[in-house]
Chains A and B, each alone.
Chain A
């Protein structure tokens, strides 16, 4: 079958996913598939107003509560907070406490069946003294209602490239291009809703769920439950997509499930239905970016002044780091000598916004690439030539003063895009024939970069660890907390470890990401799993093979009395060995050595800790230095057609060239890029999350749509490989960058097609109709 692959298959090949068979046959167990004997089911009771003081929780006296347990803040044994960056969000609002958004959790009702829990939840009413509330950036800025400090600013961050007076510099430019770019919330819409199972055993709390970051949940549960490190065990079930949506919110579900299990003395399942999931979980931050760009008549960029506002929602959660990534990407992959960027995350009475693929960068990328499109028109240059004229290249300096050194794929991705354009398009341009009216066509371009790994000093702080061990049952096991959420972590770690060990991939097993079994590798976010943790896996596997080989050479009889585990940190200065060199000694040798070692000495494992490459220094106070260890680079081109009557848009062609460093598994990389690209097209054209008084107005899949296979164009993906010396085999992050560019390309194509500025997302037909009406373009959208 598909998993009986040969030993030649490894890095750079595309073997079948190791988890593929279970997924296509239905055998894979997601959280709601896990058999949990005796489990009761939880349902969360939430506020009905966006802002107020909770006075009472009333249980309907006529309802039969004999088979229901109600969990409130009073049942929390420890600290009533969800630990994250700023500990401001309660797990359950206590009596007398402040409700800050309409979906805020107040109680959890627990009953023998899901239906009974839902029914019981309808018989709980809240008494709340309502307060005035604010729901958008303008209201937050006006600060008539103060939710955070005096000005509702949750976080303010600034970048100053130099001391120049940016207004004076702009005033002296030949051209100044100015625009305001607004983007809406976006729902991750993983097809598996969030879910968690908790149970207590021997005084320890065991949690399994749909999640990206087991140690985030672990960190949040310990103070909430007043338990120690070893008393909370958090594991990942097979997870049906995350895209950032399962980065931090699972801590909330885990808190509720654990408290419910504690009070009932039973295992508790807490599985959100789709309506609840859309309404309450985090979304991409709505944003407004004001961008001023100064340039010379010859098209040379001189200055950028960018003001970034994001709607953080009711609690701080991850907004400071989303804002950080937003401003660090705000001037794009271009040489601009004078830069000022100011970013603010604003508090509103909206459910907190959070991580979604791209993490702030898509919002600012939309702004700067729309600016570049306008600037090219202004100076009369071809869009590609204009970008080439200003692109960052090896040795250039970014807005934070980072000198780019190595793996700079800016030209390579533009070259690849141009080559693909010179070739014939692989599919006919008119795919669907559904456009009834005359159509207008447009072409849009976007070039962008995306910092891989944690921002600034993040990776140095995280010190992600991974272990590779020889198993008593034969073969090897990789232990890391990096989760497979569909992106292929299990498969690429198998490939990387197998190649470093010099064994067939069938001899490598990846341990379940459970905090009692794996070290903390850092979270599964920020395009870091392959590049950062993959490298640590490679180092641990290499160290284990070398240790076994050394032992084998020196100890035909006398085995070394060394400890059975090593936790040395390998210096990160040595580039990755060339592919294939590790396998030289022969697979049998390492496998046989491991078996002999187990028999004669005992278990053997190697753990390694990530160290950023030398020279990656970042100053959080001045926001200067190396913002990221390396960047990915991308060029995207969109051809589209707009129906003149209905203003429906059909994407006819979407080309995406992305520098991934090295593709460990080209097909998985292609799948990552294509999935991210379609999410970006969806964000640009179809996906809308309107709010009404702080509440999501379309909490269902029927109304909150994502693209279908019929909406999607044939996606043309070009993998460009400019190797990164400190990634495994040259690989660097790829998870997020496909999300960044396509929306700007779509908007620029629509601007070309319709002759009106398209500076907001999503560009729904009704939005286009308004823009066309405002822009006075005759004969378009007339009948709609």
Chain B
């Protein structure tokens, strides 16, 4: 069937079987391979994308459900820049190792920091609990997000240039 959606800021029309997984359409038809399949059953979060700003496991979403909605993948987190502040912090703080979970983490963390800018480390752990990482033990991921959080808070207070822990991605978004 033909369906329309907004994908990474661009209106698209697709001719696809409505029950195909959004993940497969993104990866196979649209060559957006940043979203990964780790389990195919909504456990690992490596395929996380945003639908109308809500993080979802794209392996569980029939593409028809994305019709007339706005889909954002990891490839578009930074708009025109190479990396968003969250992505840059993940690199800077060692929050990515093998990297296969990282796109999902980056997408989920972007929403987490927007919705709960003051989340504690413990709360950040809860917000990220749907994204499995086998490499890091999560410590450096949480460190990265806490730093991005602090940088945003400092920027909001007008002290963006005086970040104590400053990482080079701070100016990316």
Contacts and interface: CB of A to CB of B under 8 A. Distances in A.
Interface of A: 1-2, 4, 14, 16-17, 19-30, 32-33, 35, 188-193, 238-243, 273-274, 427, 431-432, 485-488, 667-668, 670-671, 674-679, 700-702, 706, 708-710, 712, 714-715, 717
Pick the 5 closest A-B CB pairs, nearest first.
A26-B34, A486-B98, A240-B100, A23-B99, A674-B137
Interface stretch (B60-68, B101-109, B156-164): B101-109
B88 A432 contact: no
Contact of A241 (B82, B129, B135): B135
A709 B39 contact: no
B101 to A, nearest CB: 5
Given A16-B92, A488-B97, A709-B128, A191 B139 contact: no
A766 to B, nearest CB: 21
Contacts of A21: 82-83, 91
Nearest to B78: A25
B142 interface: yes
Contacts of A25: 34, 74-75, 77-78, 82-83, 87, 103
A487 B93 CA distance: 14
B21 to A, nearest CB: 11
B37 A674 contact: no
A2 B169 contact: yes
A677 B137 contact: yes
B141 interface: yes
Given A192-B98, A431-B122, A486-B98, A2 B167 contact: yes
A16 B140 CA distance: 13
B134 interface: yes
Looking at A21, A485, A487, A671, the one whose CB has the most chain B CB atoms below 10 A away is A671
Interface in B139-158: 139-142
B27 to A, nearest CB: 8
Chain B interface, DSSP helix/strand/loop, else mixed: loop
B94 interface: yes
Contacts of A32: 33, 37
29 contacts: A1-B172, A2-B83, A2-B92, A16-B92, A20-B91, A23-B102, A25-B34, A25-B77, A26-B32, A29-B33, A33-B27, A190-B100, A191-B134, A193-B37, A240-B99, A241-B98, A242-B98, A243-B134, A486-B99, A670-B140, A674-B136, A676-B137, A701-B39, A701-B41, A702-B39, A706-B132, A708-B130, A709-B138, A712-B138
Chain A interface, DSSP helix/strand/loop, else mixed: loop
A671 B96 CA distance: 9
Looking at B34, B106, B126, B169, the one whose CB has the most chain A CB atoms below 10 A away is B34
A26 B38 contact: no
A180 to B, nearest CB: 30
A432 B88 CA distance: 29
B129 A709 contact: yes
Contacts of B128: 708-709
A710 B129 contact: yes
Given A190-B98, A238-B99, A678-B138, A702 B34 contact: no
Contacts of A243: 134
A28 B139 contact: no
B133 interface: yes
A4 B138 CA distance: 26
B93 A191 contact: no
Contacts of B129: 708-710
Given A2-B83, A675-B135, A709-B131, A701 B43 contact: yes
B70 to A, nearest CB: 18
A26 B74 contact: yes
B58 interface: no
A670 B87 CA distance: 20
Q: In the complex, which range does the number of interface residues on chain B fall in?
A: 35 or more
B9 interface: no
Contacts of A709: 124-126, 128-129, 131, 133, 138, 141-142
Contact of B38 (A27, A191, A239, A679): A191
Nearest to A678: B137
A191 B133 contact: yes
Given A243-B134, A273-B40, A674-B137, A486 B97 contact: yes
Nearest to A16: B91
A485 B78 CA distance: 26
B46 interface: yes
A712 B46 contact: no
B91 to A, nearest CB: 3
Contacts of A486: 97-99, 135
A709 B139 CA distance: 8
Contacts of A710: 125-126, 129
Given A35-B31, A191-B133, A24 B41 contact: no
A411 B122 CA distance: 34
Contacts of A14: 94
Looking at B37, B43, B137, B142, the one whose CB has the most chain A CB atoms below 10 A away is B137
Contact of B135 (A28, A35, A238, A671): A671
Looking at B73, B94, B96, B138, the one whose CB has the most chain A CB atoms below 10 A away is B94
A24 B125 contact: no
A241 B36 CA distance: 13
A37 to B, nearest CB: 12
A667 B136 CA distance: 11
A192 B137 contact: no
A193 B100 CA distance: 10
Nearest to A275: B40
A241 B134 CA distance: 8
Contacts of B33: 26, 29-30, 32-33
B90 interface: yes
Contacts of A22: 99
A485 B135 CA distance: 10
A427 B139 CA distance: 13
Contacts of B53: none
Contacts of A239: 98
Given A25-B74, A191-B101, A16 B168 contact: yes
A240 B35 CA distance: 13
Interface string B21-32: 000000100011
Given A23-B102, A26-B33, A667 B83 contact: no
Given A25-B83, A29-B33, A715 B137 contact: yes
A756 to B, nearest CB: 29
Contacts of A676: 137
Given A274-B41, A674-B137, A27 B34 contact: yes
B138 A20 contact: no
B33 to A, nearest CB: 4
A531 B80 CA distance: 41
B71 interface: no
Contacts of A193: 37-38
